[in-house]
Chains A and B, each alone.
Chain A
Amino acid sequence: MGGMKEIYASIMILIIALIFLGFKDQITTGIARITGFTEWSDVTQASVTVNEFISATLFNVPIQFGSLNPGNTSEAINNPLIVQVGGETNVNYNITLNGTSNFTSTTSNFSISYLQFNTTEKGWTNYTLNVEKTAYENEPAPLGTSVNKNIWHRVGIPPGTIAGTYTANITVTVKKA
Protein backbone atom coordinates (compact mmCIF):
# COMPACT_ATOMS: atom_id res chain seq x y z
CA MET A 1 0.00 0.00 0.00
CA GLY A 2 2.98 2.30 0.70
CA GLY A 3 3.94 2.37 -3.01
CA MET A 4 0.46 3.36 -4.27
CA LYS A 5 1.16 7.12 -4.03
CA GLU A 6 4.22 6.80 -6.25
CA ILE A 7 2.24 4.73 -8.80
CA TYR A 8 -0.51 7.38 -8.86
CA ALA A 9 2.15 10.06 -9.26
CA SER A 10 3.79 8.25 -12.16
CA ILE A 11 0.40 7.72 -13.85
CA MET A 12 -0.33 11.43 -13.46
CA ILE A 13 3.04 12.30 -14.98
CA LEU A 14 2.32 9.96 -17.90
CA ILE A 15 -1.07 11.62 -18.45
CA ILE A 16 0.59 15.06 -18.37
CA ALA A 17 3.19 13.80 -20.88
CA LEU A 18 0.48 12.51 -23.21
CA ILE A 19 -1.50 15.76 -22.97
CA PHE A 20 1.70 17.68 -23.68
CA LEU A 21 2.33 15.44 -26.69
CA GLY A 22 -1.13 16.24 -28.00
CA PHE A 23 -0.65 20.00 -27.76
CA LYS A 24 3.06 20.00 -28.60
CA ASP A 25 2.71 22.24 -31.71
CA GLN A 26 0.70 24.95 -30.02
CA ILE A 27 2.97 25.07 -26.99
CA THR A 28 6.27 25.07 -28.89
CA THR A 29 4.98 27.66 -31.33
CA GLY A 30 4.23 29.88 -28.39
CA ILE A 31 7.74 29.32 -27.05
CA ALA A 32 9.29 30.20 -30.40
CA ARG A 33 7.20 33.31 -30.66
CA ILE A 34 8.18 34.47 -27.23
CA THR A 35 11.91 33.85 -27.82
CA GLY A 36 11.82 35.86 -31.04
CA PHE A 37 9.86 38.66 -29.43
CA THR A 38 12.46 41.39 -29.10
CA GLU A 39 10.71 44.31 -30.74
CA TRP A 40 7.14 45.07 -31.73
CA SER A 41 5.76 47.66 -34.05
CA ASP A 42 2.64 48.11 -36.12
CA VAL A 43 2.01 49.92 -39.39
CA THR A 44 -1.42 51.11 -40.37
CA GLN A 45 -1.78 51.07 -44.12
CA ALA A 46 -4.24 53.22 -46.02
CA SER A 47 -5.25 51.72 -49.33
CA VAL A 48 -7.68 52.85 -51.98
CA THR A 49 -8.65 51.24 -55.27
CA VAL A 50 -9.36 53.51 -58.20
CA ASN A 51 -12.00 51.96 -60.44
CA GLU A 52 -10.98 51.26 -63.99
CA PHE A 53 -13.07 52.49 -66.93
CA ILE A 54 -12.86 51.59 -70.60
CA SER A 55 -15.17 52.30 -73.51
CA ALA A 56 -14.99 51.85 -77.24
CA THR A 57 -17.29 53.07 -79.99
CA LEU A 58 -16.97 52.11 -83.64
CA PHE A 59 -17.65 54.66 -86.38
CA ASN A 60 -18.07 53.96 -90.11
CA VAL A 61 -19.79 50.67 -89.56
CA PRO A 62 -20.50 48.30 -91.18
CA ILE A 63 -17.45 48.10 -93.45
CA GLN A 64 -18.55 48.38 -97.07
CA PHE A 65 -16.71 47.40 -100.25
CA GLY A 66 -19.36 47.90 -102.93
CA SER A 67 -19.31 45.57 -105.96
CA LEU A 68 -16.09 43.84 -106.98
CA ASN A 69 -15.04 41.42 -109.69
CA PRO A 70 -13.47 38.06 -108.74
CA GLY A 71 -9.68 38.40 -108.59
CA ASN A 72 -9.86 42.13 -107.68
CA THR A 73 -8.64 43.76 -104.50
CA SER A 74 -10.22 46.93 -103.15
CA GLU A 75 -10.13 49.09 -100.04
CA ALA A 76 -13.37 49.73 -98.11
CA ILE A 77 -15.37 52.64 -99.52
CA ASN A 78 -16.00 53.94 -95.99
CA ASN A 79 -12.42 53.58 -94.74
CA PRO A 80 -11.19 53.93 -92.10
CA LEU A 81 -13.05 52.09 -89.36
CA ILE A 82 -12.71 54.46 -86.40
CA VAL A 83 -12.35 53.02 -82.90
CA GLN A 84 -13.09 55.86 -80.51
CA VAL A 85 -11.76 55.17 -77.03
CA GLY A 86 -13.85 57.21 -74.59
CA GLY A 87 -12.36 60.07 -72.62
CA GLU A 88 -13.30 58.42 -69.33
CA THR A 89 -10.95 55.49 -70.09
CA ASN A 90 -8.29 55.56 -67.38
CA VAL A 91 -6.13 52.55 -68.30
CA ASN A 92 -3.57 51.94 -71.02
CA TYR A 93 -5.15 49.73 -73.64
CA ASN A 94 -4.63 47.36 -76.58
CA ILE A 95 -6.91 47.05 -79.59
CA THR A 96 -7.15 43.61 -81.15
CA LEU A 97 -9.10 42.38 -84.16
CA ASN A 98 -10.53 38.93 -84.66
CA GLY A 99 -12.27 37.51 -87.71
CA THR A 100 -15.15 35.55 -86.18
CA SER A 101 -16.72 34.25 -89.41
CA ASN A 102 -15.77 33.66 -93.03
CA PHE A 103 -17.44 35.59 -95.87
CA THR A 104 -20.73 33.83 -96.53
CA SER A 105 -23.54 34.31 -99.02
CA THR A 106 -26.71 32.28 -99.39
CA THR A 107 -24.94 29.83 -101.69
CA SER A 108 -21.20 30.05 -101.15
CA ASN A 109 -18.40 31.31 -98.91
CA PHE A 110 -14.74 32.28 -98.90
CA SER A 111 -12.14 32.67 -96.17
CA ILE A 112 -11.90 35.69 -93.87
CA SER A 113 -8.15 35.59 -94.59
CA TYR A 114 -8.92 37.51 -97.83
CA LEU A 115 -9.72 40.48 -95.58
CA GLN A 116 -6.80 42.61 -94.41
CA PHE A 117 -6.43 45.51 -91.98
CA ASN A 118 -3.87 48.27 -91.69
CA THR A 119 -3.14 50.74 -88.89
CA THR A 120 -0.69 53.54 -88.33
CA GLU A 121 1.41 51.06 -86.34
CA LYS A 122 1.16 47.92 -88.51
CA GLY A 123 1.33 47.11 -92.22
CA TRP A 124 -1.39 45.18 -94.04
CA THR A 125 -2.25 42.14 -91.92
CA ASN A 126 -4.51 39.26 -92.90
CA TYR A 127 -7.35 38.22 -90.64
CA THR A 128 -7.34 34.58 -89.54
CA LEU A 129 -10.54 32.88 -88.44
CA ASN A 130 -10.89 33.09 -84.63
CA VAL A 131 -7.37 34.42 -84.10
CA GLU A 132 -6.89 37.74 -82.30
CA LYS A 133 -4.44 40.08 -84.03
CA THR A 134 -3.08 43.23 -82.45
CA ALA A 135 -3.93 46.51 -84.16
CA TYR A 136 -2.72 48.95 -81.48
CA GLU A 137 -0.62 48.02 -78.47
CA ASN A 138 -0.15 49.68 -75.08
CA GLU A 139 -1.79 52.96 -76.03
CA PRO A 140 -1.81 55.58 -73.26
CA ALA A 141 -5.03 56.23 -71.34
CA PRO A 142 -6.97 59.14 -72.93
CA LEU A 143 -7.68 60.71 -69.49
CA GLY A 144 -10.34 63.22 -70.44
CA THR A 145 -10.43 63.50 -74.22
CA SER A 146 -11.69 60.74 -76.48
CA VAL A 147 -9.06 59.30 -78.84
CA ASN A 148 -9.73 58.02 -82.35
CA LYS A 149 -7.77 55.05 -83.68
CA ASN A 150 -8.12 54.40 -87.41
CA ILE A 151 -8.15 50.95 -89.00
CA TRP A 152 -8.19 50.61 -92.79
CA HIS A 153 -9.56 47.50 -94.51
CA ARG A 154 -9.20 45.93 -97.91
CA VAL A 155 -10.50 42.71 -99.39
CA GLY A 156 -9.32 40.53 -102.25
CA ILE A 157 -12.03 38.48 -103.97
CA PRO A 158 -10.69 35.00 -104.80
CA PRO A 159 -10.76 34.23 -108.53
CA GLY A 160 -13.73 32.08 -109.47
CA THR A 161 -15.93 33.28 -106.59
CA ILE A 162 -19.64 32.70 -107.24
CA ALA A 163 -21.60 35.94 -107.62
CA GLY A 164 -23.55 37.05 -104.56
CA THR A 165 -23.60 39.32 -101.54
CA TYR A 166 -21.12 38.13 -98.96
CA THR A 167 -20.90 39.18 -95.31
CA ALA A 168 -18.39 38.43 -92.57
CA ASN A 169 -18.06 39.29 -88.87
CA ILE A 170 -15.14 40.72 -86.97
CA THR A 171 -14.72 41.55 -83.30
CA VAL A 172 -12.87 44.63 -82.09
CA THR A 173 -11.63 44.07 -78.56
CA VAL A 174 -10.36 46.94 -76.44
CA LYS A 175 -8.65 45.64 -73.34
CA LYS A 176 -6.51 46.89 -70.52
CA ALA A 177 -2.83 46.66 -71.54
Chain B
Amino acid sequence: MKLNRFVGFGLLIFILTTFSMEYGFAQSCGFGATPLTAHASAIPGQKVVVTWNLYNMYSDRKAHIVLSYTADTDWEVTIEPGPRNVSYELPTGIVTIQENLALDPLPPVEYKPEVIPYGTSYIKHPNADLYIPAKVVTFTIQVPQDAKVGESHKFHFIAKGNCFTGTGAVIPSVELGLDVTVDVVPQEFYEREIIAKAPWYIRYAGMIMVLVLIALAAAIVVLVRRRKVK
Protein backbone atom coordinates (compact mmCIF):
# COMPACT_ATOMS: atom_id res chain seq x y z
CA MET B 1 0.00 0.00 0.00
CA LYS B 2 2.85 2.37 0.98
CA LEU B 3 4.57 1.65 -2.33
CA ASN B 4 1.35 2.43 -4.23
CA ARG B 5 1.04 5.72 -2.37
CA PHE B 6 4.61 6.66 -3.25
CA VAL B 7 4.05 5.70 -6.88
CA GLY B 8 0.81 7.72 -7.00
CA PHE B 9 2.42 10.72 -5.33
CA GLY B 10 5.45 10.49 -7.62
CA LEU B 11 3.19 10.28 -10.67
CA LEU B 12 1.29 13.36 -9.52
CA ILE B 13 4.53 15.31 -9.02
CA PHE B 14 5.75 14.18 -12.44
CA ILE B 15 2.50 15.30 -14.17
CA LEU B 16 2.46 18.64 -12.35
CA THR B 17 6.14 19.30 -13.07
CA THR B 18 5.82 18.34 -16.73
CA PHE B 19 2.71 20.47 -17.16
CA SER B 20 4.18 23.50 -15.40
CA MET B 21 7.45 23.21 -17.35
CA GLU B 22 5.57 22.97 -20.62
CA TYR B 23 3.40 25.88 -19.62
CA GLY B 24 6.42 27.84 -18.38
CA PHE B 25 8.29 27.43 -21.61
CA ALA B 26 5.27 27.90 -23.88
CA GLN B 27 6.08 30.64 -26.33
CA SER B 28 3.35 32.96 -27.38
CA CYS B 29 3.30 35.87 -29.77
CA GLY B 30 0.52 38.25 -30.63
CA PHE B 31 -1.09 41.63 -30.20
CA GLY B 32 -4.41 43.44 -30.38
CA ALA B 33 -5.81 46.47 -32.16
CA THR B 34 -8.61 48.99 -31.86
CA PRO B 35 -10.50 50.33 -33.80
CA LEU B 36 -10.88 48.12 -36.87
CA THR B 37 -12.79 50.56 -39.09
CA ALA B 38 -12.91 54.33 -39.47
CA HIS B 39 -14.81 56.75 -41.71
CA ALA B 40 -13.84 60.33 -42.42
CA SER B 41 -15.18 63.22 -44.49
CA ALA B 42 -12.67 65.72 -45.78
CA ILE B 43 -12.57 68.70 -48.12
CA PRO B 44 -10.02 68.83 -50.96
CA GLY B 45 -6.60 69.79 -49.60
CA GLN B 46 -7.37 68.65 -46.06
CA LYS B 47 -5.36 66.11 -44.07
CA VAL B 48 -7.12 63.16 -42.46
CA VAL B 49 -5.35 61.92 -39.35
CA VAL B 50 -6.29 58.42 -38.19
CA THR B 51 -5.00 57.05 -34.89
CA TRP B 52 -4.78 53.34 -34.25
CA ASN B 53 -4.12 51.72 -30.88
CA LEU B 54 -2.02 48.55 -30.72
CA TYR B 55 -1.51 46.55 -27.54
CA ASN B 56 0.07 43.34 -26.31
CA MET B 57 -1.84 41.89 -23.35
CA TYR B 58 -1.49 38.14 -23.72
CA SER B 59 1.79 37.07 -25.28
CA ASP B 60 5.00 36.47 -23.33
CA ARG B 61 7.22 38.07 -25.97
CA LYS B 62 7.73 41.54 -27.35
CA ALA B 63 5.79 41.90 -30.61
CA HIS B 64 7.75 43.66 -33.38
CA ILE B 65 5.30 45.48 -35.62
CA VAL B 66 5.73 46.38 -39.26
CA LEU B 67 3.10 48.75 -40.67
CA SER B 68 2.00 48.99 -44.30
CA TYR B 69 -1.09 49.90 -46.28
CA THR B 70 -2.96 49.33 -49.52
CA ALA B 71 -5.32 51.85 -51.12
CA ASP B 72 -7.49 52.29 -54.19
CA THR B 73 -5.88 55.70 -54.83
CA ASP B 74 -2.37 57.18 -54.95
CA TRP B 75 -3.06 59.87 -52.34
CA GLU B 76 -0.08 60.62 -50.12
CA VAL B 77 -0.09 58.67 -46.86
CA THR B 78 2.41 58.98 -44.03
CA ILE B 79 2.81 56.51 -41.19
CA GLU B 80 4.04 57.54 -37.76
CA PRO B 81 6.21 55.99 -36.34
CA GLY B 82 8.09 55.31 -39.54
CA PRO B 83 10.15 52.19 -40.25
CA ARG B 84 13.55 51.97 -38.57
CA ASN B 85 16.32 49.43 -38.16
CA VAL B 86 16.68 48.19 -34.59
CA SER B 87 19.28 45.80 -33.16
CA TYR B 88 18.35 43.39 -30.37
CA GLU B 89 20.66 41.27 -28.31
CA LEU B 90 19.35 37.71 -28.04
CA PRO B 91 20.90 34.62 -26.38
CA THR B 92 21.91 33.53 -29.88
CA GLY B 93 23.55 36.85 -30.79
CA ILE B 94 22.68 40.31 -32.08
CA VAL B 95 19.86 40.54 -34.60
CA THR B 96 18.93 43.65 -36.60
CA ILE B 97 15.39 43.92 -37.91
CA GLN B 98 13.25 46.62 -39.49
CA GLU B 99 10.16 47.59 -37.52
CA ASN B 100 7.85 50.54 -36.96
CA LEU B 101 7.39 49.86 -33.26
CA ALA B 102 7.67 47.15 -30.63
CA LEU B 103 4.94 46.19 -28.17
CA ASP B 104 6.05 44.97 -24.79
CA PRO B 105 3.67 42.54 -23.08
CA LEU B 106 1.73 44.70 -20.62
CA PRO B 107 -1.28 43.66 -18.55
CA PRO B 108 -4.31 45.96 -18.22
CA VAL B 109 -4.26 48.37 -15.27
CA GLU B 110 -6.91 49.66 -12.88
CA TYR B 111 -5.95 53.32 -13.14
CA LYS B 112 -4.52 55.50 -15.89
CA PRO B 113 -1.18 56.99 -14.87
CA GLU B 114 -1.15 60.75 -14.35
CA VAL B 115 1.55 61.26 -16.94
CA ILE B 116 1.05 59.37 -20.18
CA PRO B 117 4.18 59.30 -22.36
CA TYR B 118 3.99 60.52 -25.94
CA GLY B 119 2.93 57.78 -28.35
CA THR B 120 1.07 55.75 -25.74
CA SER B 121 -2.53 55.66 -24.55
CA TYR B 122 -4.73 53.86 -22.07
CA ILE B 123 -7.89 52.46 -23.62
CA LYS B 124 -10.94 51.54 -21.61
CA HIS B 125 -11.21 47.73 -21.56
CA PRO B 126 -14.48 46.74 -23.27
CA ASN B 127 -15.33 43.98 -20.76
CA ALA B 128 -13.71 44.98 -17.47
CA ASP B 129 -13.17 48.06 -15.35
CA LEU B 130 -9.58 48.27 -16.53
CA TYR B 131 -7.41 50.22 -18.96
CA ILE B 132 -5.32 48.61 -21.67
CA PRO B 133 -1.86 50.16 -22.16
CA ALA B 134 -1.45 50.74 -25.90
CA LYS B 135 0.88 52.37 -28.36
CA VAL B 136 -0.60 54.89 -30.78
CA VAL B 137 0.07 54.71 -34.48
CA THR B 138 -0.88 57.67 -36.67
CA PHE B 139 -1.79 57.54 -40.35
CA THR B 140 -2.04 60.87 -42.15
CA ILE B 141 -3.90 60.89 -45.46
CA GLN B 142 -3.43 64.00 -47.61
CA VAL B 143 -6.55 64.69 -49.69
CA PRO B 144 -5.27 66.34 -52.90
CA GLN B 145 -6.45 69.84 -53.88
CA ASP B 146 -7.84 68.43 -57.13
CA ALA B 147 -9.88 65.68 -55.43
CA LYS B 148 -13.45 65.70 -56.71
CA VAL B 149 -16.32 66.29 -54.30
CA GLY B 150 -18.33 63.07 -53.96
CA GLU B 151 -15.49 60.65 -54.56
CA SER B 152 -14.71 58.09 -51.88
CA HIS B 153 -11.57 56.03 -51.30
CA LYS B 154 -10.68 53.04 -49.18
CA PHE B 155 -7.42 52.47 -47.31
CA HIS B 156 -6.43 49.22 -45.61
CA PHE B 157 -3.74 49.59 -42.98
CA ILE B 158 -1.90 46.46 -41.89
CA ALA B 159 0.06 45.72 -38.73
CA LYS B 160 2.16 42.58 -38.94
CA GLY B 161 3.63 41.30 -35.69
CA ASN B 162 6.60 38.97 -35.23
CA CYS B 163 8.38 37.72 -32.14
CA PHE B 164 11.76 36.19 -31.50
CA THR B 165 10.54 32.72 -30.61
CA GLY B 166 13.58 30.60 -31.25
CA THR B 167 14.35 28.25 -34.10
CA GLY B 168 11.75 26.20 -35.92
CA ALA B 169 10.69 25.04 -39.34
CA VAL B 170 7.76 27.44 -39.81
CA ILE B 171 7.73 30.93 -38.27
CA PRO B 172 4.21 32.34 -38.00
CA SER B 173 3.41 36.02 -37.69
CA VAL B 174 0.16 37.73 -36.73
CA GLU B 175 -1.59 40.29 -38.91
CA LEU B 176 -4.39 42.70 -37.98
CA GLY B 177 -5.94 45.42 -40.13
CA LEU B 178 -7.73 48.77 -40.05
CA ASP B 179 -10.11 49.79 -42.86
CA VAL B 180 -10.48 53.54 -43.44
CA THR B 181 -12.91 55.18 -45.85
CA VAL B 182 -12.44 58.84 -46.80
CA ASP B 183 -15.27 60.76 -48.49
CA VAL B 184 -14.51 64.04 -50.24
CA VAL B 185 -17.12 66.63 -49.30
CA PRO B 186 -17.67 70.31 -50.24
CA GLN B 187 -16.45 73.01 -47.88
CA GLU B 188 -19.96 74.31 -47.15
CA PHE B 189 -22.94 72.15 -46.48
CA TYR B 190 -25.99 72.67 -48.70
CA GLU B 191 -29.24 70.91 -49.24
CA ARG B 192 -30.96 71.62 -52.53
CA GLU B 193 -34.22 70.08 -53.55
CA ILE B 194 -34.16 68.59 -57.01
CA ILE B 195 -37.24 69.89 -58.84
CA ALA B 196 -37.43 67.40 -61.69
CA LYS B 197 -40.91 66.28 -60.55
CA ALA B 198 -42.33 69.80 -60.06
CA PRO B 199 -45.16 70.97 -62.42
CA TRP B 200 -44.02 72.31 -65.84
CA TYR B 201 -44.87 75.94 -65.02
CA ILE B 202 -42.58 75.73 -61.98
CA ARG B 203 -39.78 73.97 -63.85
CA TYR B 204 -39.92 76.57 -66.63
CA ALA B 205 -40.90 79.50 -64.40
CA GLY B 206 -37.57 81.23 -64.92
CA MET B 207 -37.69 80.96 -68.68
CA ILE B 208 -41.35 82.07 -68.76
CA MET B 209 -40.61 85.15 -66.68
CA VAL B 210 -37.61 86.05 -68.84
CA LEU B 211 -39.71 85.69 -72.01
CA VAL B 212 -42.52 87.81 -70.51
CA LEU B 213 -40.07 90.55 -69.54
CA ILE B 214 -38.40 90.53 -72.97
CA ALA B 215 -41.82 90.64 -74.65
CA LEU B 216 -42.79 93.57 -72.40
CA ALA B 217 -39.59 95.39 -73.29
CA ALA B 218 -40.15 94.72 -77.02
CA ALA B 219 -43.73 95.97 -76.78
CA ILE B 220 -42.57 99.20 -75.12
CA VAL B 221 -39.93 99.72 -77.85
CA VAL B 222 -42.58 99.13 -80.57
CA LEU B 223 -44.99 101.57 -78.88
CA VAL B 224 -42.27 104.22 -78.63
CA ARG B 225 -41.41 103.83 -82.33
CA ARG B 226 -45.09 104.10 -83.32
CA ARG B 227 -45.43 107.31 -81.31
CA LYS B 228 -42.32 108.72 -83.01
CA VAL B 229 -43.77 107.87 -86.46
CA LYS B 230 -47.07 109.64 -85.60
Contacts and interface: CB of A to CB of B under 8 A. Distances in A.
Given A60-B26, A172-B174, A174-B176, A54 B33 contact: yes
B40 interface: no
Interface stretch (B54-62, B76-84, B147-155): B54-62
Contacts, number: 208
Given A36-B193, A84-B30, A167 B221 contact: no
Interface in B190-217: 192-193, 195, 198-199, 202-203, 205-207, 209-210, 213-214, 216-217
A60 B160 CA distance: 18
Interface in B166-202: 166-177, 192-193, 195, 198-199, 202
Nearest to B177: A175
Interface stretch (B86-94, B124-132, B136-144): B124-132
A20 B214 CA distance: 11
B159 to A, nearest CB: 11
Given A7-B221, A55-B57, A167-B170, A175 B205 contact: no
Contacts of B210: 17, 20-21, 24
Interface string A8-22: 011101101100110
9 contacts: A3-B228, A7-B224, A20-B210, A35-B202, A59-B26, A84-B30, A155-B169, A155-B170, A168-B170
